Structure 1
């Protein structure tokens, strides 16, 4: 990996980490100006329950494509939206019973 690609990878990670996403299982690297995103993206714990992960990734891809030196973004991301709302409500009810 060249020095330029390493610097761009750090810059891309810095930009992604500004968004309310858990990217601990996301692999990010840049090769000759092409950003490769692969892995799993989840919601950050806290007051971010209404965030749409796909919309957030679209915003990130748009931001990255506007950066000088980036030619393209290859996004192979799996979205982990958490349990479905009805399952989440059942879990909350169970916790109240104890």
Structure 2
């Protein structure tokens, strides 16, 4: 059973990623012992001139500064 802290962190990650101009419908979020794992496929949303990889790298840096988040692992495929 996941730790309550990990469940809450997962909810926060999903909430924050939804605010970004990215299609993350094929991305999975998992948090285990404070480590965030983002896997799957990410692409820029239509009408937004955003580099998906650069956006996710920046997002990972922001997450690493959050209390309770020990690390962020990106295992993502980026599509244009």
Q: Using the TM superposition, give the Cα deviation of residue 52 of structure 1 relative to its aligned residue in structure 2, in angstroms.
A: 0.8
In terms of fraction of residues, the more helix-rich structure is 1
**Greater radius of gyration (CA):** 1
TM-score normalised to the size of structure 1? 0.77
**Could you tell me how far apart the structure 2 residues matched to 1:2 and 1:66 are?**
20
TM-score normalised to the size of structure 2? 0.93
Deviations 1:24-67 (A, max 9, x none): 0000011000000000001112x20x211111011110111111
**Which aligned pairs between 1:1-98 and structure 2 lie closer than 5 A?**
1-45=2-46, 47-48=47-48, 50-81=49-80
Task: Pick 1 or 2: higher relative contact order, CA cutoff 8 A, min separation 6.
Answer: 2
In terms of fraction of residues, the more strand-rich structure is 2
In structure 2, the partner of 1:92 is: none
Runs of 4+ in 1 over 4 A off after TM superposition: none
**Could you tell me how far apart the structure 2 residues matched to 1:17 and 1:64 are?**
14
| SS of the residue 2:78 aligns to | strand
**Could you tell me how far apart the structure 2 residues matched to 1:8 and 1:51 are?**
25
The CA RMSD measured in Å over matched residues stands at 0.8
Q: Using the TM superposition, give the Cα deviation of residue 19 of structure 1 relative to its aligned residue in structure 2, in angstroms.
A: 0.8
Unaligned 5+ segments in structure 2 are: none
